[in-house]
A and B are shown apart, each in its own frame.
Chain A
Amino acid sequence: MPLKRNKQFISGSQAIAQTIKELQVDVISAYPITPQTHILEELAQFKEDHQADYEYIRAESEFAAASIILGASAAGGRTYSATSSQGVLLMMEVLFNASGLRLPLVMTVANRALSAPINIFNDHSDAMAMRDSGWLMFFAENHQEAIDLHIIAYKIAESLELPVAINVDGFIITHAYQEAFIPNRKIIESYLPKYKPIPNSYLDSNRPVSLGGYYDSVHYQKTRQELSKDIQKSQKKVSQEFKAWQKIWPTKKALKSTYDDGLIEYCGPKKPKAILIALGSLCGTIKEAIKSETNVGIIKIRSFRPFPKDSLNKIIPINCQLYILEKTIAIGSFGPLYQEVISSLNHFKGKATNYILGLGGQDINEADILNIIKANRS
Chain B
Amino acid sequence: MISAKKMPITKRPLTKAGSAQENKTGSWRKEHPVVDKNKCISCSLCAKLCPDNCIYMRETKKGHLIAEPNLDYCKGCGICAEECPVKAIRMVKD
A residues bordering B, Cβ < 8 Å?
100-103, 161, 198-201, 207-213, 215, 223, 226-227, 230
Contact = CB atoms under 8 A, between A and B. Distances in A.
- The interface residues of chain B, by DSSP majority, are classed as loop
Residue among B7, B13, B14 with the most chain A CB within 10 A?
B13
Interface residues of B, number: 16
A101 B12 contact: yes
Interface in B12-59: 12-19
Contacts of A199: 8
B61 interface: no
Given A207-B2, A208-B1, A209-B2, A201 B14 contact: yes
Interface of B: 1-2, 6-19
A230 B13 contact: no
A198 B15 contact: no
A230 B11 CA distance: 10
Contact of A161 (B2, B6, B11, B18): B11
Contact of B12 (A102, A208, A230): A102
Contacts of A223: 13
A201 B13 CA distance: 9
Contacts of A209: 2, 14-17
B13 A208 contact: no
Contacts of B10: 102, 161, 198, 201
Given A161-B12, A209-B14, A210-B19, 15 more contacts: A100-B13, A101-B12, A102-B10, A102-B11, A103-B12, A161-B11, A198-B8, A198-B10, A200-B2, A200-B6, A201-B8, A201-B12, A209-B16, A210-B14, A210-B18
B19 A213 contact: yes
B24 to A, nearest CB: 15
Contacts of B6: 200
Contact of A102 (B1, B2, B13): B13
25 contacts: A100-B13, A101-B12, A102-B10, A102-B12, A102-B13, A103-B12, A161-B10, A161-B11, A161-B12, A198-B9, A199-B8, A200-B8, A200-B14, A209-B14, A209-B15, A209-B16, A209-B17, A210-B16, A210-B18, A210-B19, A211-B13, A211-B14, A213-B13, A215-B13, A227-B11
A210 B7 contact: no
A231 B17 CA distance: 28
Nearest to A210: B15
Nearest to B12: A102
A101 B8 CA distance: 15
Nearest to A226: B11
A153 B19 CA distance: 35
B12 to A, nearest CB: 5
Contacts of A213: 13, 15, 19
A201 B17 CA distance: 12
A297 to B, nearest CB: 38
Residue among B1, B6, B11 with the most chain A CB within 10 A?
B11
Contacts of B9: 198
Nearest to A220: B13
Contacts of A208: 1-2, 17-18
Given A198-B8, A200-B7, A201-B8, A212 B2 contact: no
Nearest to A197: B10
A207 B19 CA distance: 14
B1 A212 contact: no
Question: Which A-B residue pairs are the 5 nearest by beta carbons?
Answer: A208-B17, A201-B10, A200-B8, A213-B15, A210-B15
B12 A210 contact: no
A352 B47 CA distance: 64
Nearest to A201: B10
Nearest to B13: A212
A201 B88 CA distance: 44
